[in-house]
C-alpha cells in the first residue's frame, strides 16, 4: 500500500505528498513563501482549513494574503477576526456568555449575552483590546474532541449556548484556540493574526438566539476586517455613501414609501412611490406583450391540498399564512404563483400547438418572515413579483431559456447594472430522480454556454423542484444583489398531472420554466432607490419637471406652461410658494427633480431657463424642451 498521494494544482500539474498531508504541507512543498502567505484551501467548489488533510487526487487551489479581494480569502480573515472579538469581549466583560460568530458578506458578527447592556460608545474600547491582541500576535491551533469532552468543558465555563451547539452538532467537533481563548468552531481560520492589517467594529444590534423570537435576545456586535488599511478605508467610504443612500431614509424623505408597525413588513406606498411602481409595471406589461406572454390573474388563497400537491406544504409551510375555512378546512395565502398557474394550465385540454404557453402575473404574495429578518423594502412579508411560467416541450426548452436570458439582459442594461449569472444545482431535499435532474441541469448549462454567458456554479442551491439560473446585479456602489431567477421544472407539472397532446397523438407532460427577472418589486425599488441615490432617471422620476415662477405676476404663464407639459404626458408640478427663488431651486435639487424651469420676466415659450439636476443650465424653446423630454421619457 502506497504511503504517497497526489493533488492537482490549478495549472493541472500534480504535486506528490505524504499520505495524509494537509493544505499547509502542500504549500510548504511548493515553497516557503507560499507556506507563509497561505490562508485557505479551495477544493472542488468548497473551502477547507489549511490544517485539514487532503484527499488523493483532489484538485486544490491555495489562497494567500495576496488574494485580498477573493470572497473566500476575506471570509477566513473575518472569521478569525470574529474570534479575536470574542476573546476581547471575554477579557473586558467577566461573566459574558458567548454564542456564535460567523463571517458574513462584507464583515463578521458575534453574539453575546452581556451581564449589563453595552452601548455604541463601548465599541471603541473593545476595538482597542483587539488591536492589543494583534500587537501581541495570535496563532490558531485546531483540535478535534468528543462531544462529551466539549460539553464538560463548556459546562465548566458556564457557556450554555456552546453546550447547546455541542448537543445539536453534526459531524466531528473541533476547537480553535488563539491566546487564552478556545472556541467551538468548524473553521477555517488563518494560521496567525499577521494578515489582519485593518479591523473596524461597525455597530450593535439585538439578535434572538438562533433567530427565534421565543429565545433570549442577545447583543450582536458587527465588524469588518481587511488585508490592508487602504481596503478598509475604501470600504468605510462606500459604507458612508450607502448610509446616505439608504432607502429607509430616502423613501420617506422623498415621499415615496414608509413602513409602520401596524402592518409589519408591508409597505405603505405614497403617490410618488406609486409613480415608480406603475412605471415598472408598465415596462413589465409592454415587454411581456412584445415577447409573447399572456397576462393572467389567479386566486390569493388555496386549499392546503394544492400546496401538498405542489410540494410547498412540506418545504414551505412555516413561511405561509394560514386561514381557517369552514369547520375542517384550511386555506394558505400564496407565497408564490406557480401552483395557481399549474391549475390554470390544467383547466383545459392542451395541444402541442398551444406551446410554448407563457403565463405572466404580477400578484400579491405573502411570506411569514420572522420579525428579526425584516429589513425595509429589502425583506418584506407582502411582495409582488414580475412572475411568469412558461409551459413548453423538451424541444422548446433551450429557445425559451434564451428568451429569458435576453429579457434579463435588456432589463439590467436599462437600469445600468452589471449582470452576473449563477447556476444553482440540485439540493439535498430535491423532488424527482437524479436522471431527471441531470436533464434539467444540462439544459440550463447548455443554454448559458451556447449563449456565451459566463457563469459560476452554486452546488446544491437549486429549488426543490428544479435547477435554476440566479441573476445577480451589481449596483453603483459595487454591491451585488441576487435579483431574478430562471428555473427549469419537470416535477411540479407531473405532480399536478398536466398533459398536452403531442404531434404523435400521445399525451406528454410539459416542462415549466419559472421566471422572475426583477424579483420582488418592493425589493427592486428599494435597491433602485439606493442605486440611484433617489435621483431616478427621467423616465422613472416621480416628478419630472418642476416650474418655479419668480413672482406673482408670472403665475398665470407658469400654469399655462404646466398645462402644456402635462398635456404632453410629463409629470410636472409648480412651486409658487412665497419663498426665495434660491430656496425653491435648492429644494427642487434636494427633491432630486430632473428638470427645473425658472420663469421670470425674461422667459417665454420661445426662451425658457432650464436647470438640470446637478446644476447644469441652458435655455430652450418650449418645442425644443418637449422634444428633449420626449427622448428622455423613453425607458
Catalytic site includes residue 468: yes
Q: Which of 385, 396, 491, 544 is catalytic?
A: 385
Q: Which of 189, 367, 420, 523 is catalytic?
A: 367
Q: Which of 387, 470, 475, 575 is catalytic?
A: 387
Q: Which residues contact 34 (CB under 8 A, 6 or more apart)?
A: 27, 28, 62, 64
User: Which of 357-383 are b and which e, b meaning 16 or more Cβ less than 10 Å from the residue's Cβ?
Assistant: bbbbbbbebbbebeeeeeebbbbbbbb
C-alpha to C-alpha distance for 332 and 287, rounded to whole angstroms: 31
Q: Which residues contact 345 (CB under 8 A, 6 or more apart)?
A: 357, 359, 391, 493, 498, 510
3-class DSSP assignment, residue 502: coil
Closest to 590 measured CA to CA, from 250, 259, 258: 250
Closest to 86 measured CA to CA, from 118, 116, 109, 104: 109
Catalytic site includes residue 389: yes
Q: Which of 79, 200, 468, 531 is catalytic?
A: 468
C-alpha to C-alpha distance for 527 and 243, rounded to whole angstroms: 13
Closest to 304 measured CA to CA, from 296, 294, 290, 316: 316
User: Which of 196-223 are b and which e, b meaning 16 or more Cβ less than 10 Å from the residue's Cβ?
Assistant: bbbbbbbebeebbbbeeeeeeebbbbbb
Catalytic site includes residue 338: yes
Q: Which of 338, 366, 475, 575 is catalytic?
A: 338
3-class DSSP assignment, residue 9: coil
Contact 439, 490 (CB under 8 A): yes
Q: Which of 514, 531, 554, 562 is catalytic?
A: 514
User: H helices of 451-501, where?
Assistant: 492-495
C-alpha to C-alpha distance for 180 and 499, rounded to whole angstroms: 66
Grid cell locating 612: 438640470
Q: Which of 83, 389, 546, 562 is catalytic?
A: 389
> 409551510: which residue's cell?
317
Catalytic site includes residue 595: no
HEC string of 105-164 equals: CCEEEEEEECCCCCCCCHHHHHHHHHHHHHHHCCECEEEEECHHHHHHHHHHHCCHHHHH
Catalytic site includes residue 262: no
Residue 617: which H helix or E strand, with range? strand 617-620
Chain centroid to CA 349: 40
Catalytic site includes residue 387: yes
Which sequence positions are flagged as catalytic?
338, 367, 385, 387, 389, 468, 514
Amino acid at each position: 500500500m502506497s504511503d504517497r498521494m497526489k493533488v492537482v494544482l490549478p495549472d493541472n500539474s500534480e504535486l506528490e505528498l505524504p499520505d495524509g498531508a494537509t493544505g499547509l504541507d502542500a504549500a510548504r512543498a511548493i515553497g516557503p513563501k507560499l507556506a507563509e502567505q497561505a490562508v485557505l484551501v479551495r477544493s472542488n467548489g468548497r473551502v477547507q482549513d489549511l490544517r485539514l488533510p487532503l484527499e488523493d487526487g483532489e484538485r486544490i487551489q491555495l489562497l494567500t494574503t495576496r488574494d485580498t479581494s477573493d470572497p473566500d480569502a476575506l471570509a477566513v480573515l473575518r472569521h478569525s477576526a470574529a474570534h479575536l472579538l470574542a476573546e476581547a469581549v471575554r477579557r473586558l466583560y467577566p461573566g459574558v456568555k458567548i454564542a456564535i460568530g460567523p463571517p458574513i458578506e462584507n464583515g463578521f458578527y458575534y453574539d453575546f449575552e452581556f451581564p449589563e447592556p453595552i452601548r455604541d460608545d463601548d465599541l471603541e474600547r473593545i476595538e482597542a483590546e483587539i488591536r492589543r491582541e494583534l500587537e501581541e500576535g495570535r496563532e490558531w491551533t485546531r483540535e478535534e474532541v468528543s462531544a462529551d469532552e466539549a460539553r464538560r468543558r463548556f459546562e465548566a465555563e458556564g457557556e450554555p449556548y456552546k453546550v447547546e451547539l455541542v448537543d445539536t452538532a453534526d459531524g466531528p467537533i473541533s476547537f480553535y484556540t488563539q491566546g487564552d481563548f478556545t472556541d467551538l468552531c468548524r473553521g477555517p481560520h488563518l494560521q496567525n493574526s499577521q494578515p489582519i492589517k485593518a479591523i473596524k467594529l461597525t455597530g450593535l444590534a439585538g439578535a434572538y438566539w438562533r433567530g427565534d423570537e421565543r429565545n433570549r435576545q442577545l447583543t450582536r456586535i458587527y465588524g469588518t476586517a481587511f488585508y490592508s488599511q487602504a481596503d478598509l478605508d475604501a470600504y468605510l467610504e462606500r459604507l458612508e455613501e450607502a448610509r446616505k443612500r439608504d432607502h429607509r431614509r430616502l423613501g420617506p424623505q422623498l415621499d415615496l414609501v414608509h413602513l409602520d408597525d401596524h402592518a409589519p413588513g408591508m409597505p405603505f406606498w405614497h403617490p410618488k412611490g406609486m409613480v415608480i411602481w406603475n412605471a415598472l409595471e408598465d415596462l413589465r406589461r409592454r415587454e411581456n406583450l412584445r415577447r409573447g406572454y399572456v397576462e393572467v390573474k389567479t386566486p390569493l388563497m388555496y386549499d392546503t391540498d394544492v400546496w401538498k400537491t405542489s410540494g410547498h406544504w412540506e418545504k414551505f409551510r412555516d413561511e405561509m399564512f394560514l386561514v381557517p375555512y369552514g369547520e375542517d378546512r384550511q386555506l394558505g395565502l400564496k407565497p408564490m404563483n406557480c401552483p395557481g398557474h399549474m391549475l390554470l394550465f390544467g383547466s383545459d385540454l392542451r395541444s402541442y400547438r398551444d406551446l410554448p404557453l407563457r403565463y405572466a402575473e404580477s400578484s400579491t404574495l405573502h411570506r411569514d418572515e420572522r420579525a428579526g429578518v425584516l429589513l425595509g423594502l429589502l425583506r418584506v412579508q407582502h411582495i409582488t413579483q414580475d412572475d411568469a411560467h412558461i409551459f413548453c416541450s423538451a424541444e422548446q426548452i433551450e429557445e425559451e431559456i434564451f428568451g429569458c436570458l435576453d429579457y434579463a439582459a435588456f432589463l439590467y442594461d436599462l437600469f445600468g447594472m452589471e449582470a452576473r449569472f449563477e447556476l444553482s444545482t440540485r439540493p439535498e431535499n430535491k423532488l424527482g430522480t437524479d436522471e431527471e435532474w441531470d436533464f434539467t441541469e444540462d439544459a440550463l448549462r447548455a443554454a448559458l454556454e451556447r449563449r456565451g454567458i459566463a457563469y459560476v456554479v452554486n452546488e446544491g442551491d437549486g429549488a426543490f423542484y428544479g435547477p435554476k439560473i440566479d441573476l445577480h446585479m451589481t449596483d453603483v456602489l459595487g454591491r451585488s444583489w441576487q435579483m431574478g431567477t430562471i428555473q427549469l421544472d419537470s416535477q411540479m407539472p407531473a405532480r399536478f398531472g398536466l398533459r398536452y397532446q403531442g404531434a404523435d397523438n400521445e399525451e406528454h407532460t410539459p416542462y415549466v420554466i419559472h421566471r422572475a427577472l426583477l424579483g420582488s418589486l418592493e425589493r427592486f425599488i428599494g435597491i433602485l432607490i439606493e442605486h440611484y441615490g433617489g435621483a431616478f432617471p427621467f423616465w422613472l422620476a416621480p416628478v419630472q419637471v418642476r416650474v418655479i415662477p419668480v413672482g406673482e405676476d408670472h403665475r398665470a404663464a407658469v400654469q399655462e406652461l404646466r398645462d402644456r407639459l402635462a398635456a404632453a404626458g410629463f409629470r410636472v408640478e409648480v412651486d409658487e410658494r412665497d419663498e426665495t427663488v434660491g430656496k425653491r431651486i435648492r429644494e427642487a435639487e434636494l427633491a432630486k427633480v430632473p428638470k427645473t424651469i425658472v420663469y421670470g420676466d425674461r422667459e417665454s415659450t420661445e426662451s425658457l431657463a432650464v436647470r438640470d439636476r446637478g446644476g447644469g443650465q441652458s435655455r430652450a424653446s418650449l418645442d425644443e424642451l418637449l422634444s428633449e423630454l420626449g427622448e428622455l421619457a423613453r425607458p
